[in-house]
A and B are shown apart, each in its own frame.
Chain A
């Protein structure tokens, strides 16, 4: 399955910007399930400096400098990504207790790599209140995959999708207290729940196909960038689940980057010299299924 993704960000500043320096996580990474065929990043006004690298998690990052004066800037990423079809669910997997034991005591490189994602991070708490929410989904002896599926199902049922209620830095205790948020909050909460049990989970940013296939309902979060969680299943690999839509991540999903939480993979961040007291931001995302050449 081939997808074409257009992700456009418009900035409007209240005063001229003399210079800005940005980092973009907009180029989709290659994964076990997808390959990025092409990706073009266009910035207007034209950047005066440009460099590309991989970040700590292996995500492609583009860093650029734009010299002003300007009051408007547009960053457009157009990417083509091939995603494999097929069932993303493992047939069997370890119990979550067994997974915990491996993650705690096993010193093999795979376990050590996964352990990076076992701990609290700047936007994901593992405090008792998070663990208390998680525990009912993790009965003793339950297979890890079942436990995590039950968790995402509960988050989907318990929480209201409410754009505008939260910001990118709303802490988990607030999300838990008000039982509402957006995809990013639900992904953070699910990641925090899994980590509070001592297991490994990472935050994935990406996209959903904008128009649903005929006969299916359009998924929530399809008109912006999306986020979900990925859980490490020892002996199998990373399993992606979308708590916002209570789905196993498969057809229709494209991964951009992963990290510990949103702060590691925010699509665009940077610092601005000048620009006045306020700026407006518009984001438009379009993801379509296209025919492979």
Chain B
């Protein structure tokens, strides 16, 4: 087969998975008639030639490699963290490049607007005084850090690293589900998935134009260096809460990839000159940029939780004095709660004077009496979420909840309506996944990462695709047994809506 020729449309005889039927969902690789989408045709043909047994063998090879190089994540079981091998499905998810370019522009637009919003929250609060967002979004948010008011981080950028959650509905329409602006995780798995895939399917990377993901580390290093307060070669460190954190693998991986020290709070000290120093075997060394993977409230016991053993006393003093850069900046979490989420389209129009490129899911704010009544009456058809939490904590999927769970959620909404929002249940798209040697549709989401510094922005090509392992399950979280896939942004015609 000539790899440069356009792939022939495979006929019924070459179907890779004859019994594959994604209905009633939108499938990432397979059209409703059972034929591959144009961007997936080459992969399809290749898998058909490979056959089921060879595919299963390659999955085993991938599992062995992940164990051998030690890609793990931690699940908490009865208070004890257990390291598990990273769950990886070898069938990649494919996104046509022309579609990805739109998503990329949408993510950059969104993060630009959110950074302007955060900077505004900690300065004039024009968005509030001009009636774009209500005051409770800022003053009423537990994530509004009054300690950050008046601070000017370089370039006015508070969020340098954003991990967005994207999903597609049954029509294939892309939505942003969450903007994770605090300490988003997952990029190390994205990079490792690609490395393993290259080893498992090297021939695909020779014949197919797949966008690389590995420039991320270099762009991350450049972004971190670009916010350094010193003019010389900056000293950068990765600050981790330690080995018991679920993302410790990633902290270690990124520090190693960046070629910088991985430190814990006790390795750093702030002296009376308000500068941050690392304790090294050669003595104290001044630190310019801290890629911190410790939450705000644990960052500095002088300012936030006094009982925190994870932070560095005086870090906020040093940051406010402009002697050190913190990435992401403290207080950035003001913009990633679910109430702010519901205003992001207005926030984009207000600060950028542009129409939003990406869709936001319609969100009911339970603090509003009419919305609350609607939510309480239709709870079984909605997803109910805490307004101020990040990640998936406390989320209730109405259609999969018991009567008891629904009643408890209804009471909580009525008790503290300002703490809850609700959204329609989106029928997540699916992708072919290896399940017990057969290939079946499983629901997926996507977490791309966006970097933003004073010198510009960068979006990973594709992202980390997470996949639910059980049939019908919408839970893709790795901690809940979800798996992952490599994501290929390919130079191929796309027929899907964007």
Check A107/B130 contact, CB under 8 A, given A118-B139, A271-B301: yes
Report whether A128 and B415 are in contact in the complex, using a CB–CB cutoff of 8 Å.
yes
Q: Are A119 and B140 within 8 A (Cβ)?
A: yes
Bound: A128/B131 CA distance, A = 27
Contact B131 A107 (CB under 8 A): yes
Q: Which residues of A contact B483 (CB under 8 A)?
A: none
For B148, the closest partner residue in chain A by CB is A56
B131 touches A115 (CB 8 A): no
Task: Known A120-B140, A271-B301; judge A112-B129 contact (CB<8 A).
Answer: yes
What's the Cα separation between A56 and B138 when bound, in Å? 14
A127: contacting residue among B130, B140, B416, CB under 8 A: B416
Contacts of B136 on A, CB cut-off 8 Å? 115, 118-119
Interface flag for A289 (CB, 8 Å) = no
Bound-complex Cα distance A109 to B125 (A): 11
Is A49 touching B272 in the complex (CB atoms < 8 A)? yes
Q: B292-331: contact bitstring with A at CB < 8 Å (1 yes, 0 no)? A: 0000000001100010000001100000000000000000
A127 near B415 with CB under 8 A, answer yes
How far apart are the CA atoms of A107 and B128 in the complex, in Å? Answer: 8
Taking a contact as CB atoms under 8 Å apart, the answer to whether A21 and B129 are in contact is: no
Q: Is A269 part of the contact surface with B, judged by Cβ < 8 Å?
A: yes
B135 contacts chain A at the CB level, 8 A cutoff: yes
Q: Is A255 an interface residue (CB 8 A)?
A: no
Chain B CB within 10 Å, residue with most, of A109, A120, A125, A270: A120
Choose one: B130, B139, B146, B314; the contact of A115 (CB below 8 Å): B139
Chain A CB within 8 A of B262 CB: no
| CB-defined contacts of B140 to chain A, threshold 8 Å | 118-120
Given the contacts A127-B416, A128-B414, A271-B301, A56 and B139 also touching, CB distance less than 8 Å:
no
Q: Which of A43-58 contact B (CB under 8 A)?
A: 49, 56
What B residues does A129 contact at CB under 8 A? 415
Cα of A112 to Cα of B127 in the assembled complex, Å: 12
B contacts with A, residue count (CB < 8 A): 23
Interface size on A, residues (CB 8 A): 21
Taking the complex as formed, is A126 at the interface, i.e. its CB lies under 8 A from any CB of chain B?
yes
Q: Tell me if A116 counts as interface (CB < 8 A to partner B).
A: yes
Query: How many Å lie between the Cα of A115 and that of B137 in the bound state?
Result: 11
How many whole Å from A82's CB to the nearest CB in chain B? 30
Q: Look across to chain B and name the residue whose beta carbon is closest to the beta carbon of A125.
A: B416
Contact call B130/A120, Cβ cutoff below 8 A = no
B contact residues around A116 at 8 Å (CB): 135, 139
B150-194 vs A, Cβ < 8 Å mask (1 yes, 0 no)? 000000000000000000000000000000000000000000000
Q: B residues touching A (Cβ–Cβ < 8 Å)?
A: 125, 128-131, 135-136, 139-140, 142, 146-147, 149, 272, 301-302, 306, 313-314, 414-416, 418
The contact sample of 22 A-B pairs, CB cut-off 8 A, is: A21-B314, A56-B149, A107-B130, A107-B131, A109-B129, A112-B135, A115-B135, A116-B135, A118-B135, A118-B140, A119-B136, A119-B139, A119-B140, A119-B418, A120-B140, A122-B142, A126-B418, A127-B415, A127-B416, A128-B416, A269-B306, A271-B301
Contacts beyond the supplied A112-B128, A118-B140: 7 A-B pairs with Cβ under 8 Å: A107-B129, A116-B135, A116-B139, A118-B139, A119-B136, A125-B416, A128-B415
Closest 7 CB pairs of A and B: A119-B140, A115-B135, A56-B146, A128-B415, A116-B139, A271-B301, A127-B416
